[in-house]
Structure formats: structure tokens, C-alpha cells
Amino acid sequence: MDPPAVLRTVSCHLSLDVRSPLELYLAVAVADGPYDRTEQLVVRHDDGPLDVLEVKAAHGGRVHRVPAPAGRVVVESRAAVSGVAGPPPVEDLDLVEYRRPSRYVPSDRMLAFARDQLRGLRGAALADAAVAWVADHVRYSPGASLPTDGAAETVLSRRGVCRDFAHLVVALLRACDVPARVAAVYAPGLRPMDFHAVAEAYVEGGWHVLDATRLAPRDTMLRIATGRDATDTAFLSYYGGDLTLRSMTVTADVDDAPESADDGTGLRVLR
């Protein structure tokens, strides 16, 4: 039987003050997948629309490059997505790359700590225990962490936002030799609404979503970007100039959601 159709509508609005000419790189579009999608991405300057070039990224991600002059720049992105994707493909290189330390996930510095906390566990039990440890020991606290903080800082402060939770889950798993990565997603039901970050772990022969914040249903999340850590999944990057983010609004809604996307391990697959 085919899975039930799921209709998700998502949007984001960014208002930027560009102080000198630069290149914007936006990761706000829904990743490619086997579903029906209608979308619009418009970037406007005070003087008119700006050119937008799509660049393909890993795991279906799509980054949009925008040369932007100085002045006010507004980004408007909207999409309606219908359908459900299957499990993410498993690539041999990913199973190597996502075991390695990265900028915000210094798993090599956390080996003893992680293995002490998760001693004797394997597979789905290990992944579940990593999520439970982070959920039990880290408090969700907007504004409590810096954009430059990584998993080690989160262990020390025991506070953070979704990216900090995801980084720490990934660090614990990589320190135990489990391939793990970060995914940026739209998350219908998230409160407060924002771009959301979750972890994915390769266990039981596939990639599974792990969200230690427990702030949003996993069933209806939509992938935006996937990578080693926030270095690869940031919604906005810029080079060659300077800017200020004046405001940001994100929405994500769902109709006709399935009752469950449980895959039998207690973990769920990110669509």
C-alpha cells in the first residue's frame, strides 16, 4: 500500500541590511525528493529583483547564490510539498565522512566522556541513549549559546538551542564510532517556530532522525540541508562584504499527516 499523501506548506521571510556588496548563499529551499513540489524564491533589492543561481548540494540540498549590492535585501521563499519520501539513500563515503570530527562536533575530544556515558550499548539502543542523555542534561534556552559554540561548549554549559542539541547528539555518537550528521529542516508543529536542526544516525542499516529537543513531531519534517554540522547547514552565509539580519519569519504547516512513521526500531526516518 502506498503511504498516505502529506501536504506541507512552508515559507521564510528574511530582511537584510547589506552594508557592502557581497555574495549571499541561502539554504532555505526544500531539498529535492520524490514528491510533488511547487515553490517560489524571490530576492529583492531596493532597486529591483536580484539574480538567483541554484547550486546543488549533498543529499538533495539546494543552495541559492545571490550577488547582492549594498542596501536593503528581502528574501521570500514559499513551497507546497505533497507526498512522502522513502528512507535516505546510504552512500559508502557518508559512513566514513560522518564518523570524523568536524568544526562544531569535536568528537575526538569527547571520546572518554561519550564512551563512559554510553558504555555497552549498540545500534538503536545506543542512539536512543544518546538522545536521552542530551534531553535529560541540556536545557533548551534561546540565546544561551553563541553561533561559534560546539558540542564541547554545550556539555559544559548544559544549555542551548536546537543546533546545540543536534551537535551534541552527533558528537556522542561519532565518539562511539557511529556515523552521524546534522539536518536542517522545516518542522510543522515546532514551538517556537523557526528553522530546526536535528541529528541523523546510521543504525540498523539506515539513517534515522534523532531530535533531543523533543519540540516537534518527526513525522512531517521536511529536509532542507544535510552535512557534518552547522557549517554545512546554515540557512544564510555571505562572503566578500558585511550585513545585518534585521528580521526573520519561518512558517511550516501540515495537512493530512499520517498517524505514525515508525520504522520498527523506535526511530523514524526523515523525509
Q: Is 97 part of any domain?
A: yes
Query: Are 210 and 241 in a shared domain?
Result: no
In whole angstroms, give the CA distance from residue 156 to residue 138.
10
Q: Is 2 part of any domain?
A: no
- Would the pLDDT of 271 be above 70? no
* pLDDT at position 144: 92
Query: Are 99 and 191 in a shared domain?
Result: yes
Q: Is 34 part of any domain?
A: yes
Query: Are 178 and 97 in a shared domain?
Result: yes
Amino acid identity for residue 58 in this structure:
A
Q: Is the dihedral of CA 93, 98, 104, 108 positive or negative?
A: negative
Q: Is 265 part of any domain?
A: no
In this structure, the number of other CB atoms found within 10 A of the CB of residue 135 comes to 16
Query: Are 133 and 205 in a shared domain?
Result: yes
Query: Are 66 and 198 in a shared domain?
Result: no
Q: Mean pLDDT throughout 105-114?
A: 97
Query: Are 80 and 101 in a shared domain?
Result: no
In whole angstroms, give the CA distance from residue 149 to residue 105.
10
In whole angstroms, give the CA distance from residue 127 to residue 254.
28
Least confident of 68-77, 80-89, 146-155, 223-232: 80-89
Query: Are 108 and 76 in a shared domain?
Result: no
* pLDDT at position 263: 38
Q: Is 63 part of any domain?
A: yes
Give pTM, 2 decimals: 0.92
- Would the pLDDT of 1 be above 70? no
The parent domain of residue 22 ranges over: 7-84+235-255
Query: Are 106 and 204 in a shared domain?
Result: yes
pLDDT band of residue 83 (cuts 50, 70, 90) is: confident
What is the average pLDDT score of the chain? 93
Least confident of 12-16, 30-34, 41-45: 30-34
| Cβ neighbours of residue 194 closer than 8 Å, sequence gap 6 or more | 162, 250
The helices-and-strands tally (H runs, E runs) of the chain is 6, 15
Q: Is 264 part of any domain?
A: no
Query: Are 51 and 106 in a shared domain?
Result: no
The domain total for the chain is 2
Q: Is 260 part of any domain?
A: no
- Would the pLDDT of 261 be above 50? no
